[in-house]
Amino acid sequence: MIKDIRIVSRRFNLPQSHTLEVARQHGAYRSIETLTERTPEGIIAAVEASGLRGKGGGGAPTGAKWRLMEGEFDGRPKYVVVNADESEPGTFKDGHILSKDPHLLIEGILLTCYALGAHDAYIYIRGEYYERQQILQHAIDEAYEAGILGQSIMGHDYRVDLTVHRGAGAYICGEKSALLESMEGKRGHPRLKPHQKEPEWYFGNPTLINNVETIATVPFIVTEGADAYRQYGTERSPGTLLFALSGHVNRPGVYEAPFGTSLMEYIEHYGGGIRNGGTLKAVIPGGASTPVLTADEAAQARLDYESMQGLGSALGTGGMIVMDESVDMVEALKNLMAFYHHESCGQCTPCREGTGWVDAILARILAREGNRDDLKKLLDISETMNGKTVCVFAPAASSVIDAMVQKFETEFLRYLDTGGAA
Amino acid sequence: MSTQSVTITVDGTPIEVNPDRMLLPELLDKGFSIPHFCYQESLGSDGNCRMCMVEIAGKKRPQISCDTPIVAGMEVRTRGESIEKVRRDILELELINHPVDCPICDQAGECSLQDYYMEYGLYQGKVDKKEKHHFDKHIDLGANVLHDQERCVLCQRCVRFCRDVTHTDELCVAGRGDHSYITTIPGETLHNAYAMNVTDLCPVGALTSKDFRFQQRVWFLATSPSVCHGCAKGCAIDIDHAKSKYHDDTIYRFRPRKNPEINGEFICDAGRLSYKETQTYLLRTCLAKEEILADAEALDRMKAILTEDEYPIVVLADANLYTEELAALQAFARTFHAQLYAPLEAYHDPAFGDDWLKSSQRAANAEGVKRLGIATEMPTLNDNTLVINVNHPDGHRTANRIDLLTHRPDENTERVPARLTLPIAPWVRSSGHLINEDGIEQYCEQVLRRNDPTPTLLERLAHFLDKGDDTILDNMETAL
């Protein structure tokens, strides 16, 4: 039986939880009031010791990323950027934080800025999140008015200014370097990867980018301690994640759970089982970019990075798409590839041309004009898209194609062999 | 910057390379053939085309060599089945939405896409023609540049040229994914003074010059290295010309020739289009006032005027003449006790100059004039002076003169007819040295095979100079 753990979502169900008044009544900004008791190094050390992993999909250790911001950098200003460009199909957890508990995010940003010596922070929010942006901006305005943000945060001798930057509707701008290009006013194209470990750069200044939920986890770690966080989850995936559940379940939504929870138990407990008592066919475990799991694989899966990797998939953002027997997997792949085709930024050749070509071939297969060579062609194109581009958009699309075609080959063959060209 | 070279192994052969550069430029310099679109020497790497992949021992995946730092001892493979398959597959993706219209494409013959297909591709196409995307063709971007969006490989060299080199930012990528295309910023046209360089930078037939388009197949062109005469900058150029049967040898275009000391890899549009002036409105016949004369007759009359008339003689020399020609004019002036001037004021054009490759001094050899000690002011002239005007723009003010001209006099300018007019060959039909405004001397070969008998200035002067006069060359050598 699953026990509810609420670290990030603890104020989600309160009425008016997005207002400063309610948030403060329920503990918001305690860590900032007592900021003088903490040193920046202490905060970084706590985050490092907690084993917190980035919750935007990659799962990279947050502490190590923060350490890259250490140093003088010739006295250049340091920036903190929060990635709220949540655009992955099946993923909608950050939107919950933005609309239900924006003050938790602001508190996390204050702690992060203080720890890293940054005075200016930006939230890059997905353009389509218009209402959430309104709520977030309202919360920021409230915080400024209350002296929580601004020249001296809650009376401490430390300035933090927070600005919301709206995206213009490109999925790729959720990729951190494309996000920074976009914030610099340029076309959102991912940058070439650096040759050594270094922070990101915003107008040439050292910059930390973290996901909304990662930053929102920081207040808990700072106030309760690293061990309190580590008591949940597994050894290598400590803590909890806001898993988003969608698809053919009875109660879709966002539910926080510790890493390591069994996938099926999670679907049963929070999702209330498969819709209309149907049978499970497949699960996309962590947002559209993660390879699909068959029902058999889903039965073995646990919601942590290692287990998912062991099954040849990935935990990603934890946005699960549950599919029952009614789903046609060829159509599902076409749906996914239409997304990748639409969202490829067009910078690298394999991705720009590959996603469109795959989409066109799938359209042909669905029109029953495909032939058996098409499956090999799909896998060939997928191979060319994998690992040969600037960012991981194309490799993700490639893994999605491979998993669908290989695991549900019979469904593809049915399209190819009935009424299709030879 | 360290100058210590390191050893790496490429395809099993150890080579010495400079560790301060990325792998691709080093390998290209060492003669390795690696396909690439977005990397360009002057523009650097962008990493978008993914064509320049090589295998590096110890790395799981192939790496783009344009963004791979050199590490001593690294083992690089540019050949072999697996890397060649990667190249072939990426090339195939470049081509799936390409119209493959080489027979009607001006770039054919100098197209990277075509060359790479022949070298690395040669696969049987898998794409269904119905799946191809179509884009706009024949878009006038401005500045004589036409764009065919279907042929574009989106390497963004043109965008980066306008952004990083001219800083004018007229071009951008619009759209997304395989619907991306190059266009001008809304409301803008391509309008910088160097815009046509994008047609050279474009590795495929997407950007072509309106001027050169459909004029000549590139494989019929012969290339001669030369120097632009548009201004005192002296940009190095290649002159592409062709002589078809029964026709004159004709120049089809000027292209920049790499010279890191002067112009890098670029030239201005004005210089690029100045080839037209070298072959239009040329003067071909000798004239006495307005009556046509035979060449021999004209020479006799010129000799008679020079030796029999009592007038003091002034020679006005064009400051675009080669140093050899200027030195010969000095010898000529000595022989006939004449004063030699090359007035530079006429070439001063502040509206033309900028802070890069365009100089407001429009005379190509102004520096050569100065080094030879030729007077550069305009002398006071009247009809008691006999003026020998050698193509000088202000040389037509007095009536008592002999003209040696490359071009027919402009009928629109008020001009007193000369007593005698003799044609001389334009600079592309002659050879010699030029010294640019920064003191860099360059040699221009005679480009065109002679189509007509118009003699060069040196050939004209030879009739008047003592053949044994070595002082011409002596004088030149001491001056330079």
B97 → chain A, closest CA residue: A353
Above 70 in pLDDT, residue A422? Answer: no
Model pTM score: 0.91
Q: Domain B6-94 - what CATH class?
A: alpha beta
Above 50 in pLDDT, residue A158? Answer: yes
Q: How many CB atoms lie within 10 A of CB B417?
A: 16
Above 50 in pLDDT, residue A398? Answer: yes
Above 70 in pLDDT, residue A384? Answer: yes
Do residues A12 and A83 touch, judged by C-beta distance below 8 A?
A: no
A346–B177 C-beta distance less than 8 A: yes
pLDDT tens, position by position, A260-287: 999 999 999 999 999 999 999 999 999 9
Taken in order of first residue, the domains within chain A and their CATH numbers are 20-229 (3.40.50.11540), 240-324 (3.10.20.600), 329-418 (1.20.1440.230)
SS (H, E, C) chain A: CCCCCCCCCCCCCCCCCCCHHHHHHCCCCHHHHCHHHCCHHHHHHHHHHHCCECCCCCCCEHHHHHHCCCCCHHHCCCEEEEEECCCCCCCCHHHHHHHHCHHHHHHHHHHHHHHHCCCEEEEEECCCCHHHHHHHHHHHHHHHHCCCCECCHHHCCCCEEEEEEECCCCHHHHCHHHHHHHHCCCCCCCCCCCCCCCCEEECCEEEEEEEHHHHHHHHHHHHHCHHHHHCCECCCCECEEEEEEEECECCCEEEEEECCCEHHHHHHHCCCCEHHHCCEEEEECCCCCCCCEEHHHHHHCECCHHHHHHCCCCCCCCEEEEEECCCCHHHHHHHHHHHHHHHCCCCCHHHHHHHHHHHHHHHHHHCCCCCCHHHHHHHHHHHHHCCCCCCCHHHHHHHHHHHHHHHCHHHHHHHHHCCCCC
A341 → chain B, closest CA residue: B177
**Percent of chain A scored above 70 by pLDDT?**
99
Stretch(es) of chain B classified as CATH 3.30.70.20 = 131-209
Above 50 in pLDDT, residue A421? Answer: no
pLDDT at res. B413: 74
B163 at interface of A, judged by CB pairs closer than 8 A:
no
* Angstroms from B316 CA to nearest CA on chain A: 56
Q: What is the mean pLDDT of residues A126-137?
A: 96
pLDDT at res. B2: 53
What average pLDDT is seen over chain B?
Answer: 90
Which residues in A have their CB inside 8 Å of a CB on B? Answer: 170, 187, 189, 192, 195, 341-357, 360-361, 364, 377, 380-381, 383-384, 387-390
pLDDT tens, position by position, A176-229: 999 999 999 999 999 999 999 999 999 999 999 999 999 999 999 999 999 999
Q: Domain B131-209 - what CATH class?
A: alpha beta
Show residues of chain B in contact with A355, CB under 8 Å: 177-178
pLDDT tens, position by position, B153-196: 999 999 999 999 999 999 999 999 999 999 999 999 999 999 99
Give the one of B45, B69, B178 whose C-beta lies nearest to A353's C-beta: B178
pLDDT at res. A153: 94
Give the one of B69, B154, B172 whose C-beta lies nearest to A352's C-beta: B154
Q: Which of A340, A342, A349 to mutate to test the interface with B (most CBs of B within 10 A)?
A: A349
pLDDT tens, position by position, A24-58: 999 999 999 999 899 999 999 999 999 999 999 88
* Angstroms from A168 CA to nearest CA on chain B: 13
pLDDT at res. B471: 56
B126–A377 C-beta distance less than 8 A: yes
Q: What is the mean pLDDT of residues B98-123?
A: 92
Q: What is the mean pLDDT of residues B380-385?
A: 87
Selecting from 2.30.30, 2.60.40, 2.20.25, 3.90.550, what CATH number does the domain B218-278 have? 2.20.25
Give the one of A192, A349, A390 whose C-beta lies nearest to B93's C-beta: A349
B169 → chain A, closest CA residue: A186
Above 50 in pLDDT, residue B272? Answer: yes
**Percent of chain A scored above 90 by pLDDT?**
95
Lowest average pLDDT, out of A305-309, B246-250, B395-399, B408-412, goes to B408-412
Kindly provide the ipTM of the predicted complex, given to two decimals: 0.89
B130 → chain A, closest CA residue: A360
pLDDT category, B124, cuts 50, 70, 90?
confident
B121 at interface of A, judged by CB pairs closer than 8 A:
no
pLDDT at res. B222: 93
Higher pLDDT, B398 or A294: A294
B439 at interface of A, judged by CB pairs closer than 8 A:
no
A387–B177 C-beta distance less than 8 A: no
pLDDT at res. A127: 94
* Angstroms from B3 CA to nearest CA on chain A: 21
Please give the CATH topology (third level) of the domain spanning B286-479.
Rossmann fold (3.40.50)
B431 at interface of A, judged by CB pairs closer than 8 A:
no
Nearest to B457 by CA among B392, B377, B380, B374: B392
Stretch(es) of chain B classified as CATH 2.20.25 = 218-278
**Percent of chain B scored above 70 by pLDDT?**
96
Stretch(es) of chain B classified as CATH 3.10.20.740 = 6-94
Stretch(es) of chain B classified as CATH 3.40.50.740 = 286-479
